[in-house]
Chain A
Amino acid sequence: MNPDVVIIGGGIQGCSTALHLALQGVETMVIEKNYCGRHASGVNAGGILRPGRYPVELPLSTAALKIWADAESLVDDNCGFRPIGRLKIAENDDEMQKLATRHALVHNLGYSHERLIDRAELRDLEPHIATHAVGGIHATGCGHADPFRTVSAFKHKALTLGVKFREGIRAEKISRNGSVWQVVTEDCVVEAPVVVNCAGAWGDRIARDMGETIPLSTIAPMLMITNRMPPIMRQRIGAVDRVLSIVQQPNGTVIIGGGYLGTADRDAETTSLDYSKLAFNARIACDMFPTLSDARIVRCWAGIEGAITDGLPVIGPSATEANAYHAFGFSAHGFHLGPVVGKILAQLITSGHCDIPIDAFRIDRFSADQG
Chain B
Amino acid sequence: MKESRELVIIGGGPAGMSAAISASNCGVDVLLLDQREAPGGQIYRRVESPAVADPTLLGNDYLQGLNLVTLFRESTVDYRPDTVVWEVSPGREVYVYGGPGPGVIEARRVILATGAVERSIPVPGWTLPGVMTAGGAQSLIKNDGLLPEVPLVLAGTGPLLLLLACQYLDMGVEIAAVLETTPRSNLKRAMAHLPGAIMSGGYLTKGAGMLSRLRRARVRHVRGVEALRAVGSDHLQQIEFHAGGREHRLGASLLLLHQGVVPDVNLASAVGCALEWDSGSLCFKPSVDQWGNSSVEGVAVVGDGAGIVGADSAKWFGEMAGLDAACQLGYIGANARDTLAQKSRNLYRRSLGIRPFLEALYRPPDAYRIPVDPDVVICRCEEVTAETVRAQIGRGARDPNAIKSRTRCGMGPCQGRYCGLTLSEIIATETGQKISEVGYFRLRPPVKPVPISAILELATGEMPVETALPDPTVKPLS
Interface positions of A (Cβ within 8 A of B) = 35, 37-38, 42, 53-55, 88, 98, 102, 105-106, 109, 148-149, 152, 156, 159, 219, 221, 224, 226-227, 240-243, 251, 258-261, 270, 272-273, 275-280, 282-283, 286, 292-301, 305, 307, 310-311, 331-333
Q: List 14 A-B contacts (CB under 8 A).
A: A42-B405, A53-B470, A54-B472, A221-B468, A251-B408, A260-B464, A278-B458, A282-B456, A297-B446, A297-B455, A299-B411, A299-B444, A310-B470, A311-B469
CB-based contact B445/A273 at 8 Å: yes
CB-based contact A332/B456 at 8 Å: no
Per-residue CB contact flags for chain B residues 59-97 toward chain A (1 = under 8 Å, else 0) read: 000000000000000000000000000010110000100
User: CA A148 – CA B406 in complex, angstroms?
Assistant: 7
CB-based contact A261/B473 at 8 Å: no
Select which of B272, B395, B477 is within 8 A of A156 by beta carbon.
B395
Select which of B408, B463, B467, B473 is within 8 A of A280 by beta carbon.
B463
B444 to chain A, nearest CB (A): 5
Cβ–Cβ < 8 Å partners of B412 in chain A: 298
Q: Given A54-B472, A261-B466, A298-B411: A270 and B458 within 8 A (CB)?
A: no
CB-based contact A283/B456 at 8 Å: yes
User: CA A159 – CA B396 in complex, angstroms?
Assistant: 10
- Which single residue of chain A is at the shortest CB-CB distance from B469? A311
Cβ–Cβ < 8 Å partners of B395 in chain A: 152, 156
CB-based contact A53/B472 at 8 Å: yes
A300 to chain B, nearest CB (A): 5
Given contacts A35-B397, A283-B459, A331-B468, 4 further A-B contacts (CB under 8 A): A148-B406, A280-B464, A282-B456, A332-B468
Cβ–Cβ < 8 Å partners of B470 in chain A: 53, 310-311
Q: Given A152-B406, A270-B272, A300-B444: A275 and B464 within 8 A (CB)?
A: no
A33 to chain B, nearest CB (A): 13
CB-based contact B459/A300 at 8 Å: no
B295 to chain A, nearest CB (A): 13
Q: Given A105-B476, A272-B90, A332-B468: A298 and B456 within 8 A (CB)?
A: no
CB-based contact B465/A282 at 8 Å: no
Indicate whether B217 reaches chain A with its CB closer than 8 angstroms: no
- Which single residue of chain A is at the shortest CB-CB distance from B453? A293
Indicate whether B399 reaches chain A with its CB closer than 8 angstroms: yes
A193 to chain B, nearest CB (A): 27
Cβ–Cβ < 8 Å partners of B452 in chain A: 226, 282, 286, 292-297
Cβ–Cβ < 8 Å partners of B472 in chain A: 53-54
A122 to chain B, nearest CB (A): 18
Cβ–Cβ < 8 Å partners of B457 in chain A: 279
- Which single residue of chain B is at the shortest CB-CB distance from A300? B445
User: CA A29 – CA B406 in complex, angstroms?
Assistant: 23
Indicate whether B460 reaches chain A with its CB closer than 8 angstroms: yes
B35 to chain A, nearest CB (A): 15
B55 to chain A, nearest CB (A): 36
CB-based contact A275/B455 at 8 Å: yes
CB-based contact B473/A282 at 8 Å: no
User: CA A261 – CA B396 in complex, angstroms?
Assistant: 32
Per-residue CB contact flags for chain B residues 395-413 toward chain A (1 = under 8 Å, else 0) read: 1111101100110100111
Q: Given A259-B468, A280-B463: A297 and B406 within 8 A (CB)?
A: no
Interface residue ranges of B421-471 to A (CB < 8 Å): 444-446, 449-453, 455-461, 463-471
- Which single residue of chain A is at the shortest CB-CB distance from B412? A298
CB-based contact B451/A277 at 8 Å: no
CB-based contact A278/B455 at 8 Å: yes
CB-based contact A282/B455 at 8 Å: yes
Q: Given A260-B464, A293-B453: A300 and B402 within 8 A (CB)?
A: no
- Which single residue of chain A is at the shortest CB-CB distance from B395? A156
CB-based contact A280/B451 at 8 Å: no
A335 to chain B, nearest CB (A): 12
CB-based contact B458/A279 at 8 Å: yes
User: CA A286 – CA B454 in complex, angstroms?
Assistant: 13
Select which of B399, B406, B468 is within 8 A of A307 by beta carbon.
B468
Select which of B89, B396, B398 is within 8 A of A272 by beta carbon.
B89
- Which single residue of chain B is at the shortest CB-CB distance from A222? B468
Cβ–Cβ < 8 Å partners of B104 in chain A: 275
Q: Given A280-B459, A305-B468: A148 and B405 within 8 A (CB)?
A: yes
Closest 10 CB pairs of A and B: A279-B459, A332-B468, A279-B458, A259-B467, A311-B469, A296-B449, A148-B405, A259-B468, A331-B469, A275-B458
Select which of B446, B459, B465 is within 8 A of A298 by beta carbon.
B446
User: CA A301 – CA B446 in complex, angstroms?
Assistant: 10
User: CA A276 – CA B415 in complex, angstroms?
Assistant: 23
- Which single residue of chain B is at the shortest CB-CB distance from A55? B477
A319 to chain B, nearest CB (A): 23
Cβ–Cβ < 8 Å partners of B95 in chain A: 275
Interface residue ranges of B120-139 to A (CB < 8 Å): none
CB-based contact A259/B465 at 8 Å: no
User: CA A148 – CA B403 in complex, angstroms?
Assistant: 10
User: CA A45 – CA B444 in complex, angstroms?
Assistant: 16
A267 to chain B, nearest CB (A): 15
User: CA A106 – CA B415 in complex, angstroms?
Assistant: 45
CB-based contact A243/B465 at 8 Å: yes
Interface residue ranges of B263-315 to A (CB < 8 Å): 272
CB-based contact A37/B467 at 8 Å: no
Cβ–Cβ < 8 Å partners of A224 in chain B: 455
Select which of A273, A276, A298 is within 8 A of B460 by beta carbon.
A276
Cβ–Cβ < 8 Å partners of A333 in chain B: 469
Select which of B396, B461, B467, B469 is within 8 A of A276 by beta carbon.
B461
User: CA A109 – CA B478 in complex, angstroms?
Assistant: 9
A280 to chain B, nearest CB (A): 5
User: CA A156 – CA B415 in complex, angstroms?
Assistant: 28
- Which single residue of chain A is at the shortest CB-CB distance from B86? A297
- Which single residue of chain B is at the shortest CB-CB distance from A109? B477
User: CA A313 – CA B444 in complex, angstroms?
Assistant: 29
CB-based contact A300/B446 at 8 Å: yes
Cβ–Cβ < 8 Å partners of B463 in chain A: 242, 280, 283
Cβ–Cβ < 8 Å partners of A261 in chain B: 466, 468
Interface centre among A270, A273, A282 (most CB of B within 10 A): A282
User: CA A343 – CA B388 in complex, angstroms?
Assistant: 32
CB-based contact A241/B405 at 8 Å: no
Cβ–Cβ < 8 Å partners of B444 in chain A: 299-301
User: CA A106 – CA B472 in complex, angstroms?
Assistant: 11
B430 to chain A, nearest CB (A): 16
- Which single residue of chain A is at the shortest CB-CB distance from B95? A275
User: CA A240 – CA B463 in complex, angstroms?
Assistant: 14
CB-based contact B464/A241 at 8 Å: no
Interface centre among A53, A221, A332 (most CB of B within 10 A): A53
A308 to chain B, nearest CB (A): 9
- Which single residue of chain B is at the shortest CB-CB distance from A225? B411
Select which of B87, B401, B456 is within 8 A of A286 by beta carbon.
B456
Interface centre among B395, B397, B451, B463 (most CB of A within 10 A): B463
B140 to chain A, nearest CB (A): 25
